[in-house]
Amino acid sequence: MDRNTVLAFFLIALILIATPFYMNKVTPPPPKREITADSVATEPSRNKVKSAEPVEAQNYEPIISSRSVPVADSLMITMITVNTDLYTAVVSSKNGGSLISFQLNRYTMNDTEAVELITPRNSNNLLVSTLSIDGDPLVLDNNWQIASPPTEINVFRKPQSLTFSTTVFGGKEITKTLTFYPGSYKIDVETDLSVVEENLSAGTFQLSWSGGMPITEKNSKDDLFYFRGYVNQAGEIQNPKIPKKKELKSKMTGSTNWVAVRSKYFAAALIPQTPGMGAEISGMYQNKTVPLYNVSLILSASQDQITTLYIGPLEYKRIHGMNVDLEKIMTLGWSVIRPISRGILALLTYTHKWIPNYGVILILFAIAVKIVVYPLTKKSYQSTKKMQQVQPMLASLKEKYKGDPQKLNKATMNLYKEYGVNPLGGCLPVVLQMPLLIALFQVFRSTIELRGAPFVLWITDLSAPDTLMYIGGFPLNILPIVMAVTMLLQQMMMPTTQAAGQQKQMTYIMNLVMLFIFYRFPSGLNLYYTLFNVLTIVQQKYLTPTEETLVPVSSGKKPKKK
C-alpha cells in the first residue's frame, strides 16, 4: 500500500469519525440539568398503547397570569375516535380539539405494538392562545363544545370534520374545525376568531404544538439525537438549540411558512395556508435528558385561518409532496451530499416495489457500482504498479538531492511526467466513492423507509447494527468484523511501494481503525461495504490487467506486457 492510498483511507476515516462530532455540534446531546419551568398540559393516561418512553412522563400546565381572561369550563371532556387507513386517533374537546392519541397503523414499536405519537408530554397540542387588548393572557385550554358528538368517525372514502366552539368576552363564539383526510397524515385545523379580533392585542393569536415528539425507538439515545424544533421564514430554516444552562425562548417576526418538531423518524408540523405573521420556539430539558421543543404560529384573527397539521412519519415522498420545503428538516447529510442521498433513497425505494428485501437490493446495488467504477479501479491498479516500478528511481533521486528539498521535488515531478505516473491515481476510486459512502450512511441511519427492514438470519434491521448477541453487555456485531477481514485480504493483494514490514503494519492499523469506525454503523452500510470488498477481491484475483514494462512517455514506445 503506497502513501497516497494510506492517505486516502486516513481521510475517509477522518471524515467518518468527524461526522458524529459535527452532528453533535449542530444537534448536541442534552446536557444534564434540572427542569426549571413547565410547558405541557396534563392529560388523562391511556391504556391503549404502551409508550416507548424510557423516562417517566411529566405533565405541565401553561403559566397563566392572575389577570387571565376567564373562560367557562363547565363542560365534560368529550373524546372521539378517528379511524383512517393510516392511523387511529383520539380527539379531545380540550383545547377545542386536541390529539390525545395518534397510533400509526403501518409502524410498530419494539414489542410490535403500534407507534404512538402522543404522550402526556405533548398532549397539550393545537392550543389556541392570545392576549386581550388590555394585555391579559387568554389561553383557551378549556373543554370546548361540539354539537351531537359522535363516539367515532371513519375516514376511508371522504374527508370528515369535527367542529368545536366556545365563548369568550361576554358570549362571543369562536370555533375550531379539524378535517381529516383518507390516505393522508394531513389534518386541516380551521380557527375562526374573527368575531373577537377587536378584543385581541394586535389582532393576532397563536396556534401551538408543545412537547415535541415522543421517543419511539429501542435506542433512545440515538432517537434523542434527532429531537429538534424548526421555523421556516422566507425559505430560511431556523432551528435554535436549547442553551446548556437555561431555557430556549425565541420569538420571530415576519412571514412564516411553517413550524415543526421532529424525532428520528417522525414529525409534527403546522403549515398555514396563508403565511403566518411570526413564530415562537421554546425549549427545555425534561428529566435531564429529554429535550422538549415547543413551536407556535402567530396568525391574524381578521379572518378564519386554515393551518395544515402534518403528523406522521418522515417519509421523503410524503414530506416532499407537501411542496413547502418541509423535507429540509430531514437528515440527509451536508448540502453537497444531500442530492446523492436523495438519489440513493429514490433508487432503493423504487426498486423495492419489485424486490421486497432491501438487503438483496443492496447486493445488486453494490454489484452495479462495482461495474461502473471498474475502469477507474483498473486505472488505479495500473497507477499503483507504475508507482511501484519507479520506486528505485525515486530512491536514487532522494539520495542525489538529499540536501536540497526543492530540487528533489522538481526532479520527482519530472520523473512522474516522464513515465506518465499519477501519484494520486491509486486514490481516485476511493475518493470518488467517499460521497457515496457518506450518503449511504445518512440514508441507512435516518430514513424511515429503512427502519426495521430485515435481510436474513440475525440481520433484522438494516438501519441498526447487526447485533447477534451481547457478551458482558458488549454487542457482538458480525458484519463489521467480516468487513474488516475482507478489507485486510483486499489490501494484502494490492501492489505495494513499501517494505513488507511497513506494509503489514499499516494494513493492520488501518483495519483496526476502520473496524472501530464501522462497528456501530447501520448493518445495511456494512453489508454494502463488505460485499464491495468481496467484489474487489474477485476483481484483483481474476480481472487485474497484466503488468507492463515501464517506458518513458517521450520515447513513443508502447509498454510491453510482462
Q: Is residue 10 part of a domain?
A: yes
Q: Are residues 127 and 256 in the same domain?
A: yes
pLDDT higher for 90 or 430?
90
Does the reported pTM lie above 0.85? Answer: no
Q: What is the pLDDT of residues 187-223, one digit of tens each?
A: 999 999 999 999 998 899 999 999 999 999 888 888 8
> Hey, what's the cell of 411?
526532479
Q: Are residues 238 and 387 in the same domain?
A: no
Nearest to 443 by CA among 350, 328, 348, 336: 348
| Chain-centroid distance, C-alpha 64 | 36
What span, in angstroms and rounded, lies between the C-alpha atoms of 257 and 457?
A: 46
Q: Is residue 560 part of a domain?
A: no
Q: Is residue 552 part of a domain?
A: no
Q: Are residues 49 and 13 in the same domain?
A: no
Please, what sign has the CA dihedral across residues 542, 505, 373, 562?
A: negative
Q: Are residues 357 and 282 in the same domain?
A: no
Last residue of a domain, one of 330, 363, 388: 330
Q: What is the pLDDT of residues 429-457, one digit of tens each?
A: 667 677 887 888 888 878 888 888 888 88
Q: Is residue 29 part of a domain?
A: no
pLDDT of residue 214: 93
Q: Is residue 549 part of a domain?
A: no
Last residue of a domain, one of 267, 297, 330: 330
Q: Are residues 364 and 321 in the same domain?
A: no
CB 248, CB 282: distance < 8 Å: yes
Q: Are residues 150 and 270 in the same domain?
A: yes
Q: Are residues 368 and 465 in the same domain?
A: yes
Q: Is residue 559 part of a domain?
A: no
Q: Are residues 231 and 158 in the same domain?
A: yes
Q: What is the pLDDT of residues 28-68, one digit of tens each?
A: 443 433 322 233 333 333 333 333 333 333 333 333 333 44
Q: What is the DSSP letter of 116?
A: E
Averaged pLDDT of the chain: 79
Q: Is residue 32 part of a domain?
A: no
The DSSP bridge partners found for residue 250 are 281
pLDDT of residue 53: 36
Q: Are residues 105 and 193 in the same domain?
A: yes
Q: Is residue 185 part of a domain?
A: yes
Q: What is the DSSP letter of 321?
A: T
Nearest to 110 by CA among 170, 22, 179, 51: 51
pLDDT of residue 118: 95
Q: What is the DSSP letter of 98?
A: E
Q: Read off the CATH number of the domain in which 286 is found.
A: 2.70.98.90
Q: Are residues 471 and 507 in the same domain?
A: yes
Q: Are residues 407 and 301 in the same domain?
A: no
> Hey, what's the cell of 274?
396563508
Q: What is the pLDDT of residues 101-154, one digit of tens each?
A: 999 999 988 667 899 999 999 999 999 999 988 888 999 999 999 988 889 999
Q: Are residues 101 and 182 in the same domain?
A: yes
Task: Give how many domains the chain has, as a whole number.
Answer: 2
State how far the alpha carbon of 342 is from the alpha carbons of 1, 231, 266, 324, 336, in Å: 34, 23, 18, 17, 11
- CA-based angle 287:267:151, to the nearest 5? 95
Q: How many CB atoms lie within 10 A of CB 73?
A: 13
DSSP sequence for 268-302: EEEEESS-EEEEEEEEEEETTTEEEEEEEEEEESS
pLDDT of residue 245: 74
Q: What is the pLDDT of residues 337-362, one digit of tens each?
A: 888 888 888 888 889 889 989 889 98
Structural domain range at position 304: 38-53+67-330
Looking at the chain, the whole-number percentage of residues with pLDDT higher than 90 is 34
- Say whether pLDDT at 260 is over 90: yes
Nearest to 468 by CA among 458, 482, 460: 458
